[in-house]
Amino acid sequence: MLSKAGLYARIAGYMFVIIGEELSYIFSKAAVRLRARLFGSIDPAQRDRTIVIVGASFAGHHVARLVAGQLSPQSRYRVVVIEPNSHFQFTWVLPRFCVVKGHEEKAFIPYGRYASSLPGVLEWIQDRVVSIDKTHVRLAKGLDPIQYDYLVLATGSGVKTGLPSRVNATEKSAGVELIRDVQRGIETAKTVVVVGGGAAGMEVATDAKDLYPDKNIILVHSRPAVMHRFGKRLQDEAMQALKRLGVEVILEDRVVDEDPAAKKVTLRSGREISCDYFVSPSLTPSSFSLALSEIWRCSSRPRHHQVNCTGQAPCSQVLASVSPNSISPNGYIKVKPTLQVADEELSHVYACGDVADTETPCPNARSALRQATTVARNVLRAVDGKEPKYEYRSHWADTFIKLTLGLDRSTTFMGDGHKDLMFRAKEKNITLMVKQTWARLGQTPYEDKYDGKEGEEVKLE
Ligand SMILES: Cc1cc2nc3c(=O)[nH]c(=O)nc-3n(C[C@H](O)[C@H](O)[C@H](O)COP(=O)(O)OP(=O)(O)OC[C@H]3O[C@@H](n4cnc5c(N)ncnc54)[C@H](O)[C@@H]3O)c2cc1C
């Protein structure tokens, strides 16, 4: 077992590599711009080869940034991003903003400045890909299929019933309203049942009890411990926080029926719980991944009495008709270490992020960004006629999670079941890392004229 010093050294090495990659991108992009200024760029009309990126959350957005920013001024390639959402939807703050009012607009960050490029290199289409074949992608709204030379699938994962895990609305204004619906549901309820003791369920339950100590908040989880995908130390820490706040925890049981009219849910054990707001289960990941994303992603609103905190399912359906064998039984896209899809006839198709089967123990934004870097580097080699050579390996530090345990504290944990590190912290800012994320994406917090309103940063007393 590695000592603590060894683990810190691994984190330092991990950070060093990430910073090195970012600096390399900054220099490379500056060199591209300088070459364009000195020697000119190809006419955009002559960029007749296409790299299509499907999905622009952590993984796809980062691939777009790295590839579009580094394509040679003389390259015949262009990048086309296809993403149904009007804004980058920042998942990390959704559980918090489903409880705490007044910040919901901040979870939707405008696209635009993060992935910048020479004129004519990057095209953005707000639409959904419904299917692909070996040469084209078909869009939900777009009439003409788009031909591609290289394709990156970064379609991530989702949940059928949406918040607090996913928004399931493409427009910011609709998403903001959905979050407000959940806030109102919790605010006006006397008893709230939260289903799912993973990160989203934990955060909603602890925030709700912290903000509204007089409400009954009941967390139902099917496993013997909350945060069961993480190490024992984090599980114990989470359980202590629930006890400290007074959240009632029911383990090894699940909700099998809900009756909004009678205001009650029934558990598998037969126990009935009266509640006026239900943070509910969804379809299981395996059955759910077979459902067409169109049906639920574009569905108008979840049932008003529900909030879902249970597991997410990979959105791999677009690959189903062209390469069904590349989809694992639990719905992930099978990939080679280079992150090319594991199908010899699709060596020009890559997958990264939550949708890819990379054997990452706890997939998260960090692993999605690292995979995006691997894909971008391989695509940039491929457009230069070289074989992809960069490989993605999951790293121990990818398991990093920062879990809020009430409004003013959090625990950061890294661990793979054998070796772990854990830190407790006081949280001063109720909006967590949203301001920094706006800045990281090149936006001025919180300038966004989507409907003429802007949010404000609020500190905890
Ligand atoms: C509530 C919550 C809190 C989290 N907190 C953290 C955290 O604190 N730290 C952390 O590191 N990770 C966190 N995560 C995990 C992190 O959000 C995911 O790992 C990350 O979002 C994965 O990024 P992705 O780009 O692979 O996929 P996703 O974020 O799932 O995005 C996929 C994108 O593809 C688009 N898309 C899907 N289908 C199609 C299609 N057919 N056509 C076109 N576009 C499509 C979607 O609109 C979406 O924008 C959290 C997740 C949740 C749900």
Q: What is the DSSP string of 289-344?
A: HTS-HHHHHT-S---TTB-B-S--EE--GGGTTT-GGGB-TTSPEEB-TT-BBS-G
Residue bearing the CA closest to ligand 1, atom 19: 364
The token pair at 62 is: 């980062």
Q: Which residue has the tokens 């711009």?
A: 33
Tell which atom from ligand 1 comes closest to the C-alpha of 60. 25
CA 88 to each of CA 57, 130, 239, 284, 311: distance values in angstroms, whole numbers, following the listed order: 6, 20, 32, 26, 21
Q: How far is the CA of 364 from the centre of ligand 1 (A)?
A: 8
Residue 367 CB less than 6 A away from ligand 1: no
pLDDT value, residue 416: 76
Tell me the mean pLDDT per 10 residues along the chain, length 461: 80 92 95 96 96 98 98 97 97 97 98 93 97 97 93 94 92 97 96 94 97 97 94 95 98 92 93 86 30 27 40 90 96 98 98 95 92 98 97 90 96 86 94 96 93 47 32
Residue bearing the CA closest to ligand 1, atom 35: 55
Q: How far is the CA of 357 from the centre of ligand 1 (A)?
A: 15
pLDDT value, residue 4: 83
Residue 250 CB less than 6 A away from ligand 1: no
How do beta strands 356-357 and 248-251 pair? unpaired
Residue 83 CB less than 6 A away from ligand 1: yes
Q: Which residue has the tokens 């139902």?
A: 220
* 272-274, strands of its sheet edge to edge: 255-259, 264-267, 272-274
Residue 414 CB less than 6 A away from ligand 1: no
**Residues 95 and 410 sit within 8 Å (Cβ to Cβ):** no
Q: How far is the CA of 82 from the centre of ligand 1 (A)?
A: 15
pLDDT value, residue 361: 83
Residue bearing the CA closest to ligand 1, atom 37: 155
**Residues 374 and 67 sit within 8 Å (Cβ to Cβ):** no
Q: How far apart are the first and last CA of the chain?
A: 42
CA 154 to each of CA 54, 57, 259, 304: distance values in angstroms, whole numbers, following the listed order: 6, 8, 37, 30
Cα 330–218–238 angle (5° rounding)? 70
Residue 54 CB less than 6 A away from ligand 1: yes
Q: How far is the CA of 94 from the centre of ligand 1 (A)?
A: 12
Residue 129 CB less than 6 A away from ligand 1: yes
pLDDT value, residue 244: 98
Q: What is the pLDDT of residues 305-356, one digit of tens each?
A: 334 455 689 999 999 999 999 999 999 999 999 999 999 999 999 999 999 9
Residue 339 CB less than 6 A away from ligand 1: no
Tell which atom from ligand 1 comes closest to the C-alpha of 85. 47
Q: Indicate the pTM of the whole model.
A: 0.92
pLDDT value, residue 365: 95
Q: How far is the CA of 157 from the centre of ligand 1 (A)?
A: 6
Closest CA to 130 of 293, 349, 18: 293
At residue 223, what is the residue type? R
Euclidean distance between CA atoms 167 and 109, whole angstroms: 13
- HEC secondary structure over 225-292: CCCCCCCHHHHHHHHHHHHHHCCEEEECCCEEEEECCCCEEEECCCCEEECCEEECCCCCHHHHHCCC
How do beta strands 122-125 and 129-132 pair? unpaired
Cα 228–230–236 angle (5° rounding)? 70
pLDDT value, residue 5: 87
The token pair at 440 is: 């990281």
Residue 167 CB less than 6 A away from ligand 1: no
Q: How far is the CA of 160 from the centre of ligand 1 (A)?
A: 14
The token pair at 151 is: 């394709």
Residue 366 CB less than 6 A away from ligand 1: yes
**Residues 293 and 319 sit within 8 Å (Cβ to Cβ):** no
Residue 210 CB less than 6 A away from ligand 1: no
**Residues 149 and 51 sit within 8 Å (Cβ to Cβ):** yes
